[in-house]
Amino acid sequence: MFSQRTHWSQTHNALTLAVAARRAAGLPILDLTATNPTQVDLPLPMDDVALALFQGTTGIYDPQPFGLLEARQAVAAYHQGKVPAEHIVLTASTSEAYGLLFKLLCDPGDRVLVPAPSYPLFEYLAVLESVQPVPYPSRLANGEWHIDLEALRDMLDERTRAILLVSPNNPTGAVVHSEEVLELAQLCQERGMALVCDEVFADTIAAGLYGRMASLAGLTTCLTFVLSGLSKVCLLPQLKLGWMAASGPAELLAQALARLEILADTYLSVATPVQRALPRLLDLRHGIQATLAQRLATNRRVLQAALVGTTATLLPADGGWSAVLRIPRTKSEEEWTLALLEQDGVLVHPGWFFDFATEAWLILSLLPPQPEFAQGVERLAARLADV
Ligand SMILES: Cc1ncc(COP(=O)(O)O)c(C=O)c1O
């Protein structure tokens, strides 16, 4: 009766089961995986957000496939005018933008290259469009992540329709190197593929990065889509507004936009109040990002200090919301994370969750409230000292 693409395994991994058991037993968990910005005690200007939404509720419904012009102009300004408002498409989320792009670019069975390590939703987003996600590796050398371009080239075939990037990456925080972008864009142009860059964490990029490309917005070598949205830019995932900024060779771009217009018109999924509120919400992001930056920096400092003298190494990051720890392979990631949960009441993610090629890594969110984060990190450091 049901589609093959929804034939998911119903079994849960050992960590998920252990979390459920602990919750059922009423035992506390210090959750160092929390990334929901509305649940980590961050002071956000919710009165201003509510007022902007309220003001956006009045007036007529004017269905526009790509969204209201005033909203798209605000997104164009966010991207410093590198992409005009006419080439911005509003969506209900970044995830929905991926769905639209896979529909635009791929037939069933086509392939898209996805980064590894990276965020685990790609598998679902691609498979739900009957597209095959093919992970391409990045490697760590001297504290910097580099895309393995040779391995990536070997994965291309005539059914590969797009290369996806996440920059800064989730969870490594790596910003893509300029020379890698140039090479990927060239490959895409030669082989009729699109380049899709997820820049939801772009506002967290550390200043003064050398040889990196902070944004691909406006790239014209190949058909390019830059994705972002309110989830991460304004810490407002509940408002359900994302976007893509399209660019590329003129003829190809015009064709892509004409097709996207019909695709987007079929759903018209973005609510009007949030579109009307968008210019004001994007104005608010400066204060919101400043609050966020303080939380991220403080938690990273606390983590760094706690790990001194332990067997763990904190990897440097160019941006993003996560911390990556290299830990000894004396235990598997599963054993480490289960021991932390069951004996210390601390929840962290194993590297395999983000498709790390090797063991052993732990991934922490830098978003949790400070007292909870500091307590969790103290217990983590004690366990990592104890090898
Ligand atoms: C890299 C990346 N892209 C997109 C998203 C989701 O964004 P949205 O809420 O707009 O779908 C996330 C969420 O964690 C993410 O890590």
Which of 33, 124, 170 maximizes ligand 1 atoms within 8 Å of its Cβ, making it the mutation to test the pocket? 170
Q: Give domain limits for the chain.
A: 13-44+288-385, 46-283
Query: Alpha-carbon distance 92 to 84, whole Å?
Result: 20
Instruction: Please report, as a single letter, which amino acid is at residue 43.
Output: P
Q: Is 166 in the pocket of ligand 1 (CB under 6 A)?
A: yes
Check pocket membership of 198 for ligand 1, CB cut-off 6 A: yes
pLDDT confidence of residue 206: 87
From ligand 1's centre to the CA of 112, what distance in Å? 18
In Å, what is the CA distance from 7 to each residue of 11, 122, 127, 319?
Answer: 12, 16, 10, 36
Q: Kindly give the distance from the C-alpha atom of residue 241 to the centroid of ligand 1, in angstroms, as a whole number.
A: 11
Q: Averaged in consecutive runs of 10 residues, what is the pLDDT profile of the chain (387 residues)? A: 91 95 97 98 98 93 97 98 98 98 98 96 96 97 95 98 98 98 98 98 92 96 98 98 98 98 98 98 98 98 97 97 97 97 98 95 98 98 85
Cα 334 to ligand 1 centroid, rounded to whole Å: 25
Residue 198 amino acid letter: D
Contact 237, 36 (CB under 8 A): yes
pLDDT at 316: 96
Predicted local distance difference test score (pLDDT) of residue 58 = 83
Q: What is the tens place of the pLDDT at every residue in 112-122?
A: 999 999 989 99
Task: Report the SS3 class of residue 93.
Answer: coil
Query: Alpha-carbon distance 360 to 125, whole Å?
Result: 27
Residue 311, CA distances (Å) to 126, 315, 385, 387 in order: 38, 13, 6, 8
CB-ligand 1 contact for 170 (6 Å cutoff): yes
Q: Tell me, what's the pLDDT at 13?
A: 93
> Exposure pattern of 58-73 as b/e (b: 16+ CB <10 Å)?
eeeeeebbbbbeebbb
Topology of the domain comprising 13-44+288-385: Aspartate Aminotransferase, domain 1 (3.90.1150)
- Whether the model clears a pTM of 0.85, i.e. scores above it, the answer is yes
List 325's β-bridge partners, or say none: 314, 362
CATH number of 46-283: 3.40.640.10
- Asked if residues 350 and 14 have their Cβ atoms less than 8 Å apart, the reply is no
pLDDT at 387: 56
* E strand residue ranges, 66-157: 88-91, 111-116, 132-141, 144-147
Nearest atom in ligand 1 to the alpha carbon of residue 96 is 11
In angstroms, the CA 66 to CA 60 distance is: 17
